[in-house]
Structure 1
Amino acid sequence: MTTTPTVHRTTTVAARATELSKVYGEGETQVVALDRVTVDFPQGEFTAIMGPSGSGKSTLMHCVAGLDSFSSGSVRIGETELSTLKDKQLTQLRRDKIGFIFQAFNLLPTLTALENITLPMDIAGRKPDAAWLQKVIDMVGLSERLKHRPTELSGGQQQRVAVARALASQPEIIFGDEPTGNLDSRSGAEVLGFLRNSVRELGQTVVMVTHDPVAASYADRVIFLADGAVVDQMIQPTADRVLDRMKAFDAKGRTS
């Protein structure tokens, strides 16, 4: 039996999974999606999660982000243990401390870009920090498009709105699930650049699931999953190095 690599960092941690497992079904139909995963996501760092199809990368993100339950282990956002929270408390934590960016832009078509950006705070009855909001809007280059509705924006512009929405409430951590999956390469590069700049210039923490080595190269670190377990990590990744690592996964899958 091999030992699951444990990824620990010494800096302040924005989110942490400890011995995290997620099991579906029972008996012969049982599927282990996560197998005792331990990983830290440090504050002020851009982390990409990669792995073959079915490796558990999206399941890991969904469990750490409080979007899905887990079978055993521990998940903390800051000092808050998710397993101790009731549904209402978990909803409040996601609203107040976590930002989300998905492959689908999830914008409301009847609202302007600005109204979509501030919507989570409006629902929570909170006023945005005007200076921070302007900084975010300037960073993603939306100052001239704030009155436009989603149908009047390109796909790249809509995803910029989604990025700004995630950043606007100053969350402790942002999770992105294939955030450039519906974008062309140029728009995708712009969005990834905004995410990287939010870490470097605004001190944000970003965790992104992706299958794209080029997207992963924008991160500070890549965590690799296979068969529900962390098997490797890469610091200061390049697209070529990530691609080589993923090819090794594919080769192993073909020969196993």
Structure 2
Amino acid sequence: MAIDSGRIPAGAAAPSIVGMEITVRGTGLTKTYGSGDATVTALAGVDVAISRGEFCAVMGPSGSGKSTLMHCLAGLDTPSGGEVHIGGTSLAGLRDDALTALRRDRVGFVFQAFNLLPTLTAAENITLPLDLAGRRPDPRHFDTIVDAVGLRDRLGHRPSQLSGGQQQRVACARALITRPAVVFADEPTGALDSRASGEVLDLLRRSVDELGQTVVMVTHEPSAAAYADRVLFLADGRLVAARTGASAEDILDALKSLDGVPC
């Protein structure tokens, strides 16, 4: 296992792959809720850089700020301080319509709850982001994605006719169809059994290896994080450790070392 940093001092920059093109960068990210004595700090000065074609997992104890970090990086939430760039675009100051267009065209999302429209077929759910943008799918790219998710014989089925794993693979295909700069996956296997989880994680891994996709995944499962190239660990709103090429056992040990707090 290669180690980026065993412990990262508060305020230190997150480890990144030197010389690689950066797809997502967060600089000095803070996020607070409430005010006065009721203030809650979810992020406390996080610096993070995700390279193009990287599969990065984010882990940490409950309340560590991992989902808040992902939401800020994805433009789903606004940080209280700091700045986020996706590619060469700063999210700071973007008008609502511009931010909506960026999320639709340049960011893919995979959530635990699938979020498929029940009245649409699998094929229609996959192409929904393009339909909303008034764009027609590239037939060759559509075929590539459909073959990658292994649902060629289920394209005419509605979500209620699909298993949970199949629904999540449709959600993955929907996230990939726009050729986004980055796919954010928030606990994508949380509602799946072990077999379906493996299928979805294999798909995300292959999207990186075969399609050059950039993936950022929040998970609490060491076995899921082991699919990633790099794992970032948060605790108390700070980036405290990172590992590359880690096994599930390595990741579990790292989690146990976070002040003795289990994930």
Asked whether the 8 Å contact 2:10–2:240 carries over to 1, the reply is no
Please give the per-residue CA displacement for 1:198-236, whole angstroms capped at 9, x wherever unaligned: 000000000000000000000000000000010010001
2:228 maps to which of 180, 204, 219: 219
Match of 2:17? 9
Distance in 2 between residues matched to 1:215 and 1:156, nearest whole Å: 15
- Does 1:124 pair with 2:133? yes
- Does 1:52 pair with 2:54? no
Distance in 2 between residues matched to 1:226 and 1:148, nearest whole Å: 42
Distance in 1 between residues matched to 2:190 and 2:83, nearest whole Å: 30
Distance in 2 between residues matched to 1:14 and 1:24, nearest whole Å: 28
**Structure 1: any 5+ residue segments left out of the alignment?**
none
Alignment of 1:192-207 (within 5 A): 192-207=201-216
Say how many residue pairs are matched: 252
TM-score by structure 1 length?
0.96
TM-score by structure 2 length?
0.94
Please give the per-residue CA displacement for 1:228-250, whole angstroms capped at 9, x wherever unaligned: 01001000111000011112226
Please give the per-residue CA displacement for 1:27-76, whole angstroms capped at 9, x wherever unaligned: 11111100110000100000000000000000000000000011111100
Q: How far apart are 1:128 and its partner, in Å?
A: 1.2
Asked whether the 8 Å contact 2:112–2:189 carries over to 1, the reply is yes
**Structure 2: any 5+ residue segments left out of the alignment?**
1-8
Distance 1:250 1:182, change over 3 A: farther
1:63 maps to which of 60, 69, 72: 72
Distance in 2 between residues matched to 1:70 and 1:143, nearest whole Å: 40
Question: Is the partner of 2:169 in helix, strand or coil?
Answer: helix
- Aligned amino acid, residue 6 of structure 1: A
- Aligned amino acid, residue 255 of structure 2: M
CA-atom RMSD in angstroms: 1.1
2:258 maps to which of 243, 249, 252: 249
Distance in 2 between residues matched to 1:108 and 1:240, nearest whole Å: 38
Distance in 2 between residues matched to 1:233 and 1:64, nearest whole Å: 18
Q: How far apart are 1:133 and its partner, in Å?
A: 1.1
Alignment of 1:23-172 (within 5 A): 23-172=32-181
Question: Is the partner of 1:144 in helix, strand or coil?
Answer: helix
Q: How far apart are 1:4 and its partner, in Å?
A: 2.9
Q: How far apart are 1:79 and its partner, in Å?
A: 0.6
- Aligned amino acid, residue 11 of structure 2: T
Match of 1:228? 237
Q: Which runs of 4+ in 1 moved over 2 A?
A: 2-5
Higher helix share: 1
